[in-house]
Amino acid sequence: MCCSNFRESDEHERILGVEANKGAIAVMVVIVCVCVCVCVCVCVCGMTKGSCPERLLGEERKRTCSRPCKADKDCGNKRQCLCDGHCGLSCVAPGRTCPWPLPPSENSAARLLSPKPIFSALLEVRCEPGFTLPSGLDVTIRRCQGDRQWSGDEPICTGGFQLFPASLLVPSCCPLPDEVINTFSIQGDATVGTSIRYSCLADTVGSSENYCQENQTWQYPHPICKKVYCQPPKEVEQGYVVAVQKTEYEVGFEIHYLCKKNFLLDGPQTVTCLSNGSWSAPPPYCRARCLIPAERSRVVIGGVKRWPFDVTDGMVPHGENVMFYCKHPHKQCGFTAAQACFDGKLQPPACYLEPTWFQYKLFPHRLVSEIEACESGDVE
């Protein structure tokens, strides 16, 4: 019946309704029976006080009865004088609980009729369709006694021929408290042996899953919906974070990064606050330009052969490749060797030799960058 929390097809609801009616009738039958028994007892024995039967020695079954009493003052300050079924008026602690949930039983399902399994709470045990109790009924009511046990014998349902096709059986389910139903949108119907998925209704945290176990308990505690924030993003050296300053940022919030003039952004320009409280990416770097470490020799930048003094500020951006001209050790020819600018650092290759001022001024056409290029076979 726990599944009735969900919108099912009308057909299913109708069946549940029929089942509930049957249950109600059965409960009434049991209550009438109990009443008759109590009445008979009252009449026959004639020794009752109020509506609580006198303690019947030998009727305790396998249970222990607490100290008998007539009024609360007969009991300690933690206990009260309450009617405890066959035990009659006894000193009991009203907050005592009986075992709940009960271990799964093969041919029956137990349902708590009271909000909590405490003293005097009622429990309905109903046999699966086609099974009956020794009494011949298919349902019984048990009461939570002062000795923390459910009244009566352990109900055993026997039988086993099926009255209904399996598709009409009401499946056992795991309980879903109202606060869980009101907090999440839940996929799945909480039937034993299946999983459900939670998604938060309010803002926030992703979804998670739970499994309804054979004993009608959940494998995990229900999750919690709470608002998630991202911490303020890290500062970036030589850059700016473009966002309103806050102590925390909501999911979906975007921040932008910019670099100071002449610095190149290396990494994401925009990061977003994710639903798990992390930013979508680590912050970027702002990388510095490099001074070209050559003056009196041409270099190749971006496929163009140029004099360094013709390049703006004599610098290349981070990541740029610069080809330097080196002289062949034995032949009168030049070849290129590349070096990359990384965050302000650009070393000339080991083979590069900066021409002297005299070489540059007097024999400019003999500079290594100006002589003929070596054959590809000349350079290893």
- For binding to ligand NAG (CB under 6 A), which residues are involved? 101, 103, 213, 215, 217, 274, 276, 278
Contact predicate 255/270, CB 8 Å? yes
Distance CA 209, CA 130 (A): 34
**What amino acid occupies position 180?**
V
3-state secondary structure of 79: coil
Six-digit token string for 316: 């290349």
DSSP single-letter state for residue 238: T
Minimum distance from CB of 158 to ligand NAG (Å)? 23
Q: Between 249 and 324, whose beta carbon lies closer to ligand NAG?
A: 249
Comparison of 274 and 311: residue with beta carbon closer to ligand NAG:
274
> At a CB cut-off of 8 Å and minimum separation 6, what does 185 contact?
198, 199, 200, 201
Q: How far is the CB of 148 from ligand NAG (least distance, A)?
A: 16
* Closer to ligand NAG by Cβ: residue 215 or 356: 215
Residue 228 or residue 288: which is nearer to ligand NAG going by CB?
Answer: 228
SS3 222: coil
- For 359, residues 6+ apart whose C-beta sits below 8 A from its C-beta are 296, 366, 367
Residue 191 CB, nearest approach to ligand NAG (Å): 16
Hunting for tokens 């405890």 — which residue is that?
84
- Give the nearer residue to ligand NAG in terms of CB position, either 68 or 175: 175
- Residue with Cβ nearer ligand NAG (231 or 262): 231
Q: Tokens for 81?
A: 């004088």
Report phi then psi at 174, rounded to 5: -95, 145
Shortest Å, Cβ 147 to ligand NAG: 20
For residue 284, the minimal CB distance to ligand NAG (Å) is 17
Tokens 């039988």 correspond to what residue? 159
Closest distance of CB 153 from ligand NAG, Å = 21
- Closest CB to ligand NAG among 226 and 366? 226
Q: Which residues pair with 124 in a beta bridge?
A: 111, 141
Least CB distance to ligand NAG at residue 223 (A): 15
Minimum Å distance from CB 274 to ligand NAG?
A: 5
Compute the least distance from the CB of residue 139 to ligand NAG, in Å: 23
Kindly compute the dihedral angle of the four CA atoms of residues 34, 35, 41, 44, in this order, to the nearest 10 degrees: -140
| Long-range pairs for 171-179: beta carbons < 8 A, 24 or more residues apart | 171/3, 172/2, 172/104, 172/109, 172/216, 173/1, 173/2, 173/3, 173/212, 173/216, 174/2, 174/212, 174/213, 174/216, 174/217, 174/218, 175/2, 175/216, 176/2, 176/5, 177/222
Preceding peptide of 175 cis, ω within 30°: no
Q: How far is the CB of 192 from ligand NAG (least distance, A)?
A: 11
- Pick the closest to residue 131 from 160, 100, 95 (CA basis): 160
